[in-house]
Amino acid sequence: MRSYFPVLNALGLIVLIFGLLMGFPLAVSFFLGDDATRAFDHAVLITGAAGLLLWLPTRGVRRDLRPRDGFLLVALTWIVTPIFGAIPLASYLPNLSAVDAYFEAVSGLTATGATILRGLDAMPISVNLWRTFMHWIGGMGVIVLVVAILPLLGIGGRQLFKAEVPTPMKESSLTPRITETAKGLWLTYSLLTAACAVSLWLAGLDGWEALIHAFSVTGLGGFSSKDASLGYFNDVSVDLVVITFALLAGLNYATHYLALIRRSPRPYLADPELRFYFGVLALSVLGLSVYLMQFGAHPNFLTTLRYVAFHVVSMSTSLGLATYDYTLWPMFAQIWMLFLGSFIACSGSAGGGIKMMRAIILYKQVFRGIVRSLHPQAVHPVRLGSQPVSEDVLHAVLGFSFMYMVTIVSLTLVLSATGLDIITAFSGVVACLNNTGPGLGEIGPTSNYQILTDVQTGVLAFTMILGRLEIFTLLVVLTPVFWRR
């Protein structure tokens, strides 16, 4: 058991830090004098006590974390922290079941945005702030935040960072020290959040609404303080701000950081994902707008373009905010947006899905297969920009893509077995695995996940964690070979 003490010690520190972060909505609740202060009081005390109980008995065993420890700590963090994130919700809403509270917290921390709550308009600002603040914490990854702090306490962070952050950042650091890398990413993330909040405020939202939705947008989460989501505001300028910052949040934060410190746009031009990212989105917006005009979905092309652009960007980047009930559109348009959410977000972003980087590699691998079938002796390496992709990376991408499809099929069958119709089951799994939020059928943008049973929400909570950790990080811990000495 002592071999796991370093993991438990680090987990205790993470829980303690999470409790400190919970002090932000507590301070807001106290300042505004709303009726959620006691709920946050209890949550902060329980979270702090639990963190101390994990940290104090294990603090005598110190060593750098091995790869196995990194996987275990990351998995435990994303399973355990939602328990504490759910405490304010369960305390303030006594009729909320434990499973539903956990589901809501998982959805918050994984930046999914699938909700089971109604009556958001009447909830205290502090509660809605906590929901989207969890997006913000989870959007970049609580592990990356902790990586900047753990080395100061004598606990190395590199293995955590590699287990948490999507490719290509697993293979190289932006700065020589992993701590500086994590700090740089969080600085970029914070600056983008501040810019989004100010822009939303200038667009007409009041200060608290602007901050709440800025956390949601830059974390690519999708929670809102309104039951009607952004459709409540019905403002073109707000839509444009959200589209702009969702597009920025869907890019690789490493690229943002390099452009920031070099004060040059060249890192964007050198990013191999960007032209595919913007190209596919532009073609999808234009194509779906023309397609929907044939069905008279909206009175004119500009109105059609407005709603299509917003929802294509929102669903593709895994943001999940809505301004219109797109389930009224033909099924092709709905399925296409759900499909885009599977791969559009760039690696190193807060978005979900298989990531654009893997999609490009898969596309080029298929193209290479076609070339080789015509010219068996041809040498045709797969390249990303000017860099060749190794066979190990190709095999890893193919393995991940296979597991991604197997996961969707398997969990769809599980939900179907519980009585859900196939559209709701399939779209729920895809939306939760991609951390997008709204699905189709009974869980579309004008409804939510409240109609699901505890078993179904439990399955989807597991799906969200699986998607946030890109499947393998969690599956590795769940395999018997992981626990063998």
- Summarised one tens digit per residue, pLDDT across range 431-478 is 999 999 999 988 988 888 999 999 999 999 999 999 988 888 888 888
User: 274-293 and 301-316 are packed helices; what angle lies between their axes, rounded to 10 degrees?
Assistant: 140
Are 400 and 471 in contact, with CB atoms under 8 Å apart?
A: yes
What pLDDT is stored for residue 425 in this prediction? 96
Predicted confidence at residue 421, as pLDDT, reads 93
Q: Strands, E, within 140-291: which ranges?
A: none
Burial of 41 (0-12, 13-18, 19+ CB in 10 A): middle
- The pair of structure tokens assigned to 404 is 């991604």
d(CA 25, CA 31): 10
Query: What's the chain's length in residues?
Result: 485
Both tokens of 312, joined, read 């294509």
Closest CA to 449 of 310, 345, 332, 320: 320
Identify whether the C-beta of residue 249 lies closer than 8 Å to the C-beta of residue 351.
yes
Per-residue confidence band for 182, with pLDDT thresholds at 50, 70 and 90:
confident
Question: Which residue is associated with the tokens 């106290």?
Answer: 30
- At residue 309, the pLDDT reads 97
Q: Provide the pLDDT for residue 177.
A: 64
Choose the weakest-confidence range: 240-254, 288-302, 465-479. 465-479
**How far is residue 443's CA from residue 421's CA, in Å, rounded to a whole number?**
11
pLDDT at res. 151: 53
Name 61's Cβ contacts closer than 8 Å, sequence gap at least 6.
Answer: 2, 5, 6, 9
Which pLDDT score is estimated for 152? 46
Distances (CA, A) of 387 to 165, 355, 381, 382, 384: 21, 18, 10, 9, 5
The mean pLDDT value of the chain amounts to 88
Phi, psi of 481 (to 5 degrees): -65, -25
Q: Across residues 265-292, what is the average pLDDT? A: 94
pLDDT of residue 29: 96
Q: What is the rounded distance in angstroms from the CA atom of residue 189 to the CA atom of residue 139? A: 9
Torsion-angle region of 483 (φ positive above 0: left; ψ -120 to 50: alpha; else: beta): alpha
Choice between 118 and 69, residue whose per-residue pLDDT is larger: 118
- Only one residue has tokens 């409540």, namely 232
Task: Give pLDDT, residue 408.
Answer: 96
Q: How far apart are CA 45 and CA 52, in angstroms?
A: 11
Q: Of the given ranges (96-110, 191-205, 337-351, 451-465), which has the lowest mean pLDDT?
A: 337-351
The answer to whether residues 342 and 434 touch, using CB atoms and an 8 Å cutoff, is: yes
Nearest-angstrom CA–CA distance, 458 and 454: 6
- The tokens 């405020």 sit on which residue? 201
Q: What is the pLDDT of residues 120-162, one digit of tens each?
A: 999 999 999 999 999 999 987 765 655 555 554 444 555 555 5
Q: Tokens 């902790």 appear where?
A: 146
Which of the 8 DSSP states describes residue 227?
A: T
- The residues pairing with 384 across neighbouring beta strands, listed in sequence order, are 387
Tell which wins on pLDDT, 64 or 360.
360
Q: Could you tell me the pTM of the whole model?
A: 0.91
Burial call 192-210: b when 16+ CB within 10 Å, e when fewer = bbebbbebbbebebeebbb
Neighbours of 447 (CB within 10 A): 16
CA distances from residue 152 to 20, 28, 149, 325 in whole angstroms, order as listed: 17, 29, 6, 49
- pLDDT, average across residues 204-216: 96
pLDDT at 171 (0 to 100) = 45
Are the C-beta atoms of residues 249 and 349 closer than 8 Å to each other? yes
Continuous segment of H or E residues that includes residue 390: none
Dump pLDDT digits (tens) for 157-168: 555 555 655 544
